[in-house]
Amino acid sequence: MSETRPHKDPTRTEQAPRSSSRHRSGRKKSAGRRLRIIPFGGLGEIGKNMMALECGDDIVIIDAGLMFPSEEMLGVDLLIPDFTYVLQNRDRVRGIVITHGHEDHIGALPYLLQALNVPVYASRFASRLIALELKQKASKLKPELHEVKAGERITLGSMAVEFFAVCHSIPDAMGLIVHTPLGTVVHTGDFKLDHTPVIGQPTDLHSLALLGTRQVLLLMSDSTYVELPGYTPSESMVAESLERIISDAPGRVIIATFSSLVSRLQQVLDIAAKNKRSVVVTGRSMEGIVKVAAESGYLTIPPNTVSKFEQIHNLPNDRVVILTTGTQGEPTSALVRMANKEHPQVRIIPGDTVIMSATPIPGNDELVSKTIDNLFRLGANVVYGSVSKVHVHGHGSEEELKTILNLVRPKYFVPVHGEYRHLARHAKLAQKMGVARDNVFVLNNGDVLELTESGGKVTGKVPAGDIVASGPMTGELDANMLRDRRLLSRDGVVVVTASYSPDNGTLIGVPEIVGKGFVDMRGNGELLRGAQDVVMAAVGRAHRTSKERSSLEAQMRDTLSGYFFSKTHRRPVVIPVVTGL
Amino acid sequence: MSETRPHKDPTRTEQAPRSSSRHRSGRKKSAGRRLRIIPFGGLGEIGKNMMALECGDDIVIIDAGLMFPSEEMLGVDLLIPDFTYVLQNRDRVRGIVITHGHEDHIGALPYLLQALNVPVYASRFASRLIALELKQKASKLKPELHEVKAGERITLGSMAVEFFAVCHSIPDAMGLIVHTPLGTVVHTGDFKLDHTPVIGQPTDLHSLALLGTRQVLLLMSDSTYVELPGYTPSESMVAESLERIISDAPGRVIIATFSSLVSRLQQVLDIAAKNKRSVVVTGRSMEGIVKVAAESGYLTIPPNTVSKFEQIHNLPNDRVVILTTGTQGEPTSALVRMANKEHPQVRIIPGDTVIMSATPIPGNDELVSKTIDNLFRLGANVVYGSVSKVHVHGHGSEEELKTILNLVRPKYFVPVHGEYRHLARHAKLAQKMGVARDNVFVLNNGDVLELTESGGKVTGKVPAGDIVASGPMTGELDANMLRDRRLLSRDGVVVVTASYSPDNGTLIGVPEIVGKGFVDMRGNGELLRGAQDVVMAAVGRAHRTSKERSSLEAQMRDTLSGYFFSKTHRRPVVIPVVTGL
């Protein structure tokens, strides 16, 4: 097909992987017998998952997630994948398939769909969350959203995608079996092998086992928890601990968990009902998801269990459960407000039991610890940490990853979802489990892996950097800007303004010096006067060599920086502004 | 004594704990029968340990440590305790006793001794590190430094301090038995119960057991690892894993650990010697401490084991071990330089084995993960994490803390060293172990706990905030300054300079707008021109209501902030400077 189809986008051929342009104009059959795997996110990082499968003239996109940046990316709210390659090949994109409704798999959809209106295929629960996401972003988009079920099969150009049930920390998660002209690809999505999930089905091992008896071309499998030995415990294990803690609690129970972890919400509601406690739900995302999950039948609310704050005032404390957001210590979350005595309805009192039914995502440990400390200070008994058994996570541990490798027995293996060390470790595991060394690929985002009948090879690189999304805007991550912010955050800024008289090469009046985030200049007259003196002296010196504004300003900046460092051992960013030149 | 001694410092009485001033002028016997415990750091935080024991007219200070600030304290290098109370009572301070040589116990000494020249008592190894610390800070201080041994007893006014051996992740750590007129106080320092430490003695359980048969007034015990169930494994366990990894490694072994963890260094040297590998030591603090530890006999270097980089060039890779700093992902450390291809002597190559013989301190996880990822990317095999058994930590776990409580059987208990949740948990543990509920005190820094024959009570509060040390300077932590830095770090800064003509109430020329850490203004002419327009319009409006410079500037700031947010969804700090008024 490719040779006859008009190129709508003239830049397309240029941007395609280098080695492929020659082949693309080749024979149809050969083009169809070549499969490209291009990850745009989710490799070497946790979050922002997105990948393209490309076969002949057809591209299928798997997931489009966002990622919350690390601490050092000052002022950056969200990161999304770079869509350049996808948009340059927009006429070949047949659809987007979604594995599940977590933000790191659907969060970039509002941005992607804005630029590329193609059909989206997702489970029912994921579809509801996509709609919620679009609504919260005040997006006017009406995407072509198809609800699909595990077991269903859709055709996208020369590829067919079959969905299979996986168990994960959100309802309705699915893995993908992609039938391509070159062979079968299995993508696990995020999964664990929970044989007794509280809601939904266990991971569909039968389908995978059956596939394993035929030749599977490629397995792509979740690497997030490859570092953990053994098996991840079942969600149902949590019930025992929660039941014991809630029934023993002398007063209110405040329980924080992930809002999309609907099975956990279900357990809390059931245990509360059994213990004749009323449940109040607080926190924006928790209220939103409880509503969606209950409406769509994923969450069954026991009769007379959920109340509003107004209704529980007269209840004794040991008849109350408060279900809340804030497991990650997010400053504006309901739990953190309680810990800081800022929640409009809840004041923590001695006798309260707070359950942290979650683990901190790496990078959030300090915020979470501070929240726990503050809750203890207010007299609450806080139950947290792995010893307390009030949380199990949603990804398979080492033995589960081995199980999948053993069942699927793929020819090629690409570890996905995880930081680089996880991918490297998962790659080794696959080799140990019998995948040929040369058939295991640890990819970086943007790598183009090309599989043909004769083998696999990384043949090129496409743009796959971090794109900053802030509000409705997106833009490339600007390293200079981040460097400036880092400098500003260390010792603040000092602005020095001077009016220059070119006639006699001196300043008119004294220079004006204003600081922000540096030392208190007004309370430190000596420092200020000294700074004015060195600026005036610098202008005098500069005058002799150059009357250029830029050199005058550079001289002022350097002199003042040196002066401040000698006096304060700090290095504020100095911004000089000279007028009159 | 107190009533006859002249008050050298007239402010002293004012600053003493509120409720105590009345008693101080009372009878000698009663004054001596009152013990005050005042923590200045180390409670509700990890690090910055310092405490005063006060009895009648005598004050003994325990430790004087520093602390590295959390991420959110932008630009703050170090935190030290507030010395106000100690300096106001300087004539009563009899000496400083040091439990061990870690920075969080000795790092504030250079600052404290600068203001208060009193004798310091420390173990031999801690003394060497104090000397090293003073040298590195280029301090000219020559403190009166006394080397003491476990078993030794010194008299400090009405109190006598006896030192006892404890096992910790640094040689020569000691706990304290303080004999006071009111009774015996036991302070564990940092400890674990390692029965087979690689160097030094196990924790002296005999002395504690013996004390337990008499009445101990007060126990203060390390709470850092109270969250961990069971026992902390012995340092000797690490030997097996290290031996196996080093002897199996196909190429070089690069091992990172804490420089003061001399027992670990000893194990590495011994295993290297046994495997006929040469060891090169790299990283400033590692080189410094290896030298000090070898000179003072804490580290025994096997013959022909330690080499320099020049000497190993001709050795095969499997004959080399590199011992390095960088376990916490510190950006300038030797290991991080290797991971970033910036180390002058070491390029990581496939076949290298890197051992992270340490765990990340909370808050450093991301830096450490990034370092491990980068090492994997360069082809190294990285061994890390608890499963690999290449590290054990230096603090006692829950059962060890229970052992101490059980042996000492104190009347009063004060948990020390840990964040608030650790203290709260340790307090509960003590109650479970039989200490009366009312005799357990979870203190905050600055609390004055007063013990008398009739009971214990928090009777006041003294200053104990965070003091920022940067270079040789110290100053109070300024919340406004941090807030400004936080704002600057989010969206940068914009300076708008305008020259005002009071005669006709307009600006002369167009306002000058310079940004830093905001969007690229030069590359965005439309944004810049729009900003100039709104500023000029704002000045026109302001002119009608007020000709005050401050109101004109406020108007410019508000208008420009609003404009930038509407255009970019960012909120830079706007600094207006109007000249001509």
pLDDT digits (tens, 9 = 90+) for B107-144: 999 999 989 999 999 999 999 999 998 888 777 888 99
The upper half-sphere exposure of residue B12, i.e. CA atoms within 13 Å in the direction of its Cβ, equals: 17
Q: What is the 3-state secondary structure (H, E, C) of A344-362?
A: CCCCCCCCCEEEECCCCCC
Nearest CB to A569 within list B471, B478, B575: B471
Are the Cβ atoms of B363 and A363 closer than 8 angstroms? Answer: no
Residue pair B351/A347 in contact (Cβ under 8 Å)? The answer is no
Whose tokens are 């990161």? That residue is A79
The Cα B391–Cα B239 span in angstroms is 9
Pairing relationship of beta strands B473-476 and B278-282 according to DSSP bridges: unpaired
Interface contact B481-A492, CB threshold 8 A: yes
- Comparing A30 with B11, the larger pLDDT belongs to A30
Nearest residue on chain A to B379, alpha-carbon basis: A424
Global pTM value: 0.84
> Are the Cβ atoms of B362 and A362 closer than 8 angstroms?
no
Taking the C-alpha atoms of residue B257 and residue B235, their distance in angstroms, rounded to an integer, is 13
The values of phi and psi at residue B381, to 5°, are -95, 120
Q: What are the tens digits of pLDDT across the range A397-439? A: 999 999 999 999 999 999 999 999 999 999 999 999 999 999 9
Phi, psi of A60 (to 5 degrees): -115, 130
Q: Are B373 and A44 inside 8 Å of each other by CB?
A: yes
Report the C-alpha gap between A396 and A273 in whole angstroms: 31
Residue of B nearest to A43 (CA): B373
Which of B242-251, B309-318, B506-515 is the least confident region?
B506-515
Q: How far apart are CA A104 and CA A127, in angstroms?
A: 15
A206 Cβ contact list (under 8 Å, min separation 6) = none
Distance from CA of A506 to the nearest CA of B (A): 17
Cα(B56)–Cα(B1) distance, integer angstroms: 8
What is the per-residue burial (b if ≥16 Cβ within 10 Å, else e) of A515-532?
Answer: bbbbbeeeebeebbeebb
Tokens of B509: 């020329």
pLDDT of residue A243: 96
Q: How far is B6 from chain A (nearest CA, A)?
A: 36
The neighbour count for residue B435, using CB atoms within 10 Å, is 20
Annotated catalytic residue, options A343, A393, A395, A422 = A395
What integer pLDDT is reported at residue A286 of this predicted model? 95
Q: Give the pair of three-digit tokens for residue B13.
A: 């009485």
**Closest partner residue to B365 among A365, A382, A579, by Cβ?**
A365
- Give the span between the Cα atoms of A575 and B531, in whole angstroms: 19
Residue B402 burial (CB < 10 Å; 0-12/13-18/19+)? middle
H helical segments located in A83-204: 84-88, 103-106, 109-115, 124-136
CA distance linking residue B292 with residue B129, whole number of Å: 8
Distance from B364 to chain A by nearest Cα, in Å?
8
B520: closest CA of chain A, how far (Å): 8
Closest approach of A311 to chain B, Cα-based (Å): 32
Nearest CA in chain B to A470: B569
Region B489-516: mean pLDDT is 86
Q: Which residues of B touch A557 (CB under 8 A)?
A: none
- ipTM for the predicted complex comes to 0.81
List the single residue in A227, A489, A495 with the smallest CB-CB distance to B489.
A489
**A561 vs B contacts (CB less than 8 Å):** none
Which residues of chain B does A518 touch, with a Cβ-Cβ cutoff of 8 Å? Answer: 481
Closest-CA residue of chain B to A518? B481
Per-residue pLDDT reduced to its tens digit, A249-291: 999 999 999 999 999 999 999 999 999 999 999 999 999 999 9
Tell me whether residues A493 and B490 touch, CB distance under 8 A.
Answer: no
CA dihedral A13, A17, A18, A23 (to 10 degrees): -70
Residue A74 CA, distance from chain mean position: 16
Hunting for tokens 């409670």 — which residue is that? B43
| Inter-chain residue contact A377 with B420, CB threshold 8 Å | yes
Is A420 close to B490, i.e. CB distance below 8 A? no
Residues of B in contact with A514 (CB under 8 A): 575, 577
pLDDT > 70: what percent of chain B? 93
pLDDT of residue B1: 35
Q: Which of A94-103, A120-129, B14-23, B355-364 has the lowest average pLDDT? A: B14-23
- CA A39 – CA A445 distance, rounded (Å): 5
Q: Which residues of B touch A519 (CB under 8 A)?
A: 481
The one-digit pLDDT tens for each residue of chain A (581 residues) are 333 344 344 333 334 343 443 344 444 445 448 999 999 999 999 899 999 999 999 999 999 999 988 777 777 888 999 999 999 999 999 999 999 999 999 999 999 998 999 999 999 999 999 999 888 877 788 899 999 999 999 999 999 999 999 999 999 999 999 999 999 999 999 999 999 888 888 999 999 999 999 999 999 999 999 999 999 999 989 999 999 999 999 999 999 999 999 999 999 999 999 999 999 999 999 999 999 999 999 999 999 999 999 999 889 999 999 999 999 999 999 999 999 999 999 999 999 999 999 998 877 888 999 999 999 999 999 999 888 899 999 999 999 999 999 999 999 999 999 999 999 999 999 999 999 999 999 999 999 999 999 999 999 999 998 888 866 667 777 778 888 988 898 889 999 998 887 777 778 888 989 999 888 777 788 899 999 999 988 887 876 777 788 888 888 999 999 999 888 888 899 999 988 76
Of B70, B517, B570, the CB nearest to A484: B517
Alpha carbon of A579: minimum distance to chain B alpha carbons (Å):
9
Name every residue whose Cβ is closer than 8 Å to that of residue A432 and which is 6 or more positions away in sequence.
Answer: none
pLDDT at A540: 79
pLDDT of B545 over the 90 cut = no
Residues on chain A touching B377 (C-beta within 8 angstroms): 420
The overall average pLDDT reported for chain B is: 89
Which residues on A lie below 8 Å from B569 (Cβ)? 470-473
Which pLDDT score, from 0 to 100, does residue A473 have?
63
Tokens of B398: 């829950």
In this complex, which of A424, A481, A490 lies closest to B75 when CB atoms are compared? A490
Told to judge if B395 belongs to the known catalytic residues of this protein, a careful annotator would answer yes
| Cα–Cα distance, A343 to A254 (Å, whole number) | 13
3-state percent breakdown (helix, strand, coil) of chain B, nearest 5: 35, 25, 40
Nearest CA in chain A to B570: A470
